[in-house]
């Protein structure tokens, strides 16, 4: 089909003439109007219209279609113009948020062999306020040495992200990786820590963390295909040629992704192949990388398992007998014969295991609350005692085979991030660092609650709320609700310095722990996926209405935000309950669900079918997805004010999903509320890089939301 100009004949056309649209000399009189086509297709006897299909550049991941780029640039120009009246508010918010961040913040050093490693922001260095420097010093004290400078690597680049950071067992070499365009295709490099010089670039298409052999002479790494699918583990022998590293494992099933890890004792490489419901692990001796991989247990559809190793014993976390997982053991000699160590439980949701030399550390949730359980050699259990009733806690960096001082990361909605060392022998927490807020913060000025909201099907849904004391629960003050609800990923009730900017302006901030996450166990996840996907959307609406009934704001005075799969949530709730919201922020939103799940050329589509369903072959999945896919369910109705973001190089939610959604929404909605699309032309799924650039984008989001409430009294 021959493509016409992307703009409909309108007064906007002249103002946004390509190629000067991003720097239009005259004010833009109206938003871009994308042309609509009559494209459609028929599947399972149903005609599906896709009028903005042309916004997908057929050459993706290279995007050079002039019409597509012109449209995205026009939207960016409209965004800049419409946000200009809020520029002072954006700057004020940014400066507030920045003032809460310690300029020279540093991590707590973690021990590894003869050294202790840490990172620090060094504002005096060019770019040092945005990116970290990485250091090490002798374990028992001595001068620090700079071993990697992110500011130097990022200099001159619009985007930078450090990926891998792996020091060789003899501490002579560092393998690191970096992404400089947001595409998540990482260049893998080895540096000599003695000279500080890079000695070899192994690959430009690596993903994940590489792993060193025991002698430090080989590096295993995961290769990404042209479709951005991690599918192969390769071995590079230092000193050998690059570009032809031998393959140790290759996954033939395009619906499975490959991962690589080391056991806690570093004696075994763990090579995983998994989709969202099935996994399979192979062991390769770290002392003999060329050995034939040992399959722990062949894959069985619907069974997940993860492995760690201590001596000749495997510790296995698996859901084979209980949906909340159990811990089993097996021997290296008979890895498929599993014996119960910790049975599955309806209350205890086992989320992870780490086999330290003197105990087993288990991360779990008990009635929805994070716990750290230690299983001691005598099979007794001990739980780490934590100071608050509602919080989030996780294992931090514990690099060595044993951890007599177990490093933990802790926070709550009113408690800044705290690094603890748990002294196992003394059963006591040692505070190593409390997040410093230079501009000042008093936890006593804020209050947090954990409530239970009844969903329309009777299920009780947790919600965590924080607000500044004095918040009036009479419906007069605004409420912001955040949610995700997918992939079994819970949103923890953790501390955010940025959220303070909303709280201090009279908002309450809530996290809806909706189905689709695993907040209340694995069944909570199952109840929000596939054919039960709409539970996620209903939960979010019902939580918001419950909070309104409790005096937290009122209909039309709520705002909400979510990203990626949480952006799909935003798209669904504005279709179903548009009048509930005053403002919505949807970041890199997964809103073209049906078309994406039909597009097998995309790297994530086959692996996503267990999460969303395969509409190509399963008519029930097709009809379920079609019933909620935000792009396919837009209506002739009024919508709230909406800010939408995208990343041109995003491999997870491709740029055309938000672009198509906004284009169709503009042509469908009946209101005059703002609808803005901002596409980061040099970034990916996470937006801009650099800690302060990311803060500025948060300031833009909050300014957009606050501007809507200024006129909503």
Task: Provide the residue count of the chain.
Answer: 713
Could you tell me where the beta strands, DSSP code E, fall in 487-555?
508-512
Q: Does residue 685 have an active-site annotation?
A: yes
Q: Which tokens belong to 586?
A: 């949807």
Q: What share of the chain is helix, strand, coil (3-state, %, to 5)?
A: 20, 35, 45
Give the Cα separation of 406 and 398 in Å (integer).
Answer: 7
Query: Which residue in 272, 564, 629, 689 is the catalytic one?
Result: 564
Nearest to 372 by CA among 303, 421, 338, 310: 421
- The catalytic residue among 412, 513, 650, 689 is 650
How many Cβ atoms sit within 10 Å of the Cβ of residue 500?
21
| Per-residue DSSP letter, 702 | H
Number of CB atoms found within 10 A of residue 261's CB:
17
Residue labelled with tokens 């936890």: 443
Q: Hey, what are 300's tokens? A: 């069985």
How many Å apart are CA 227 and CA 225, to the nearest integer? Answer: 5
Q: What is the largest CA-CA distance in the chain?
A: 78
Q: Extract the tokens encoding 224.
A: 């990404």
Query: One of 276, 513, 587, 685 is an active-site residue; which one?
Result: 685
In angstroms, rounded to a whole number, what is the distance separating the alpha carbons of residues 314 and 232? 24
User: Which DSSP helix (H) or strand (E) runs through 164?
Assistant: strand 161-167
Sheet holding 418-423, edge to edge: 392-395, 405-411, 418-423, 428-434
Q: Kindly report the number of other CB atoms within 10 A of residue 330's CB atom.
A: 19
Phi, psi of 218 (to 5 degrees): -130, 150
Distance CA 363, CA 349 (A): 9
Alpha-carbon gap, residue 676 to 391, rounded angstroms: 35
Strands 132-138 and 145-149, bridge-based pairing = antiparallel
Whether the CB-CB separation of 295 and 282 falls below 8 Å is answered with yes
Closest to 137 (Cα-Cα) out of 175, 103, 108, 160: 108
- In sequence order, the 6+-apart residues with CB closer than 8 A to the CB of 710 are none
Q: Residue ranges of the alpha helices (H) in 550-618? A: 565-576, 593-598, 605-612
- Of residues 499, 508, 500, the one with CA closest to residue 473: 508
Separation CA 288–CA 228 (nearest Å): 29
List the one residue out of 566, 626, 639, 634 whose CA is nearest residue 597: 626
Which is nearest to 686 in space by CA: 657, 645, 658, 642? 645
Beta bridge partners of 679: 646
Active site residue 564: yes
Catalytic residues: 564, 650, 685
């Amino acid at each position: 089909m021959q493509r016409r100009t992307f703009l409909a004949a309108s007064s906007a056309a002249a103002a946004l003439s390509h190629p000067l649209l991003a720097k239009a000399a005259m004010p833009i009189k109206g938003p871009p109007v994308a042309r609509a086509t009559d494209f459609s297709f028929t599947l399972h006897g149903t005609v599906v219209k896709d009028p903005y299909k042309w916004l997908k550049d057929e050459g993706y991941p290279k995007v050079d279609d002039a019409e597509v780029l012109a449209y995205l640039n026009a939207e960016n120009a409209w965004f800049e113009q419409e946000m200009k009246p809020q520029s002072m508010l954006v700057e004020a918010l940014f400066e507030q948020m920045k003032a809460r961040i310690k300029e020279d913040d540093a991590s707590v050093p973690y021990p590894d062999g003869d050294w202790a490693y840490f990172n620090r922001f060094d504002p005096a260095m060019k770019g040092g306020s945005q990116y970290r420097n990485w250091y090490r010093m002798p374990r028992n004290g001595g001068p620090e040495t700079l071993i990697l400078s992110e500011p130097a690597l990022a200099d001159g680049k619009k985007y930078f992200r450090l990926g891998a950071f792996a020091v060789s067992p003899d501490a002579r070499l560092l393998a690191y990786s970096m992404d400089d365009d947001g595409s998540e295709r990482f260049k893998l490099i080895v540096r000599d820590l003695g000279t500080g010089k890079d000695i070899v670039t192994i690959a430009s298409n690596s993903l994940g963390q590489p792993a060193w052999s025991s002698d430090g002479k080989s590096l295993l790494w995961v290769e990404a295909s042209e479709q951005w699918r991690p599918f192969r583990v390769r071995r590079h022998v230092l000193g050998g040629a690059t570009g032809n590293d031998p393959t140790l494992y290759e996954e033939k099933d395009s619906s499975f992704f490959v991962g690589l890890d080391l056991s806690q004792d570093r004696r075994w490489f763990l090579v995983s192949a998994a989709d969202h419901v099935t996994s399979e692990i192979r062991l390769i001796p770290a002392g003999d990388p060329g050995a034939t991989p040992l399959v722990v247990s062949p894959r069985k559809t619907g069974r997940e398992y993860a492995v760690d190793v201590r001596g000749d014993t495997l510790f296995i976390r698996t859901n084979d007998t209980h949906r909340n997982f159990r811990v089993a053991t097996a021997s290296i000699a008979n890895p498929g014969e599993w014996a119960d160590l910790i049975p599955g439980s309806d209350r205890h949701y086992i989320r992870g295991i780490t086999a330290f030399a003197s105990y087993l550390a288990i991360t779990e949730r008990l009635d929805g609350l994070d716990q750290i359980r230690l299983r001691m050699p005598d099979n007794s259990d001990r739980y780490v005692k934590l100071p608050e009733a509602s919080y989030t806690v996780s294992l931090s960096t514990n690099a060595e085979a044993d951890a007599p001082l177990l490093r933990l990361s802790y926070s709550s909605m009113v408690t800044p991030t705290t690094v603890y060392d748990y002294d196992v022998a003394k059963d006591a927490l040692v505070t190593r660092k409390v997040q410093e807020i230079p501009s000042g913060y008093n936890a006593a000025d804020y209050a947090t609650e954990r409530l239970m909201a009844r969903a329309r099907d009777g299920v009780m849904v947790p919600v965590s709320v924080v607000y500044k004391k004095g918040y009036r629960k009479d419906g007069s003050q605004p409420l912001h609700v955040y949610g995700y609800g997918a992939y079994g990923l819970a949103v923890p009730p953790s501390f955010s310095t940025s959220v303070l900017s909303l709280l201090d302006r009279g908002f309450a901030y809530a996290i809806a722990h909706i189905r689709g996450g695993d907040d209340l166990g694995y069944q909570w996840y199952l109840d929000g996926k596939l054919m039960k996907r709409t539970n996620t959307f209903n939960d979010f609406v019902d939580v918001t209405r419950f909070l309104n009934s409790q005096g937290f704001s009122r209909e039309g005075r709520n705002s909400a935000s979510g990203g990626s799969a949480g952006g799909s949530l935003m798209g669904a709730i504005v279709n179903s309950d548009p009048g509930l919201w005053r403002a919505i922020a949807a970041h890199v939103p997964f809103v073209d669900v049906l078309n994406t799940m039909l597009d097998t050329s995309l790297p994530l589509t086959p692996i996503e079918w267990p999460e969303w369903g395969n509409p190509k072959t399963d008519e029930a999945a097709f009809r379920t997805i079609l019933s909620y896919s935000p792009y396919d369910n837009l209506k002739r109705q009024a919508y709230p004010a909406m800010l939408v973001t995208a990343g041109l190089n995003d491999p997870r939610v491709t740029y055309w999903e938000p672009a198509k959604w906004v284009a169709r929404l503009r042509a469908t909605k009946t209101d005059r509320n703002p609808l803005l699309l901002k596409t980061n032309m040099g970034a990916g799924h996470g937006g801009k890089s650099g800690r302060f650039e990311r803060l500025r984008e948060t300031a833009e989001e909050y300014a957009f939301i606050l501007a809507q409430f200024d006129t909503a009294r």
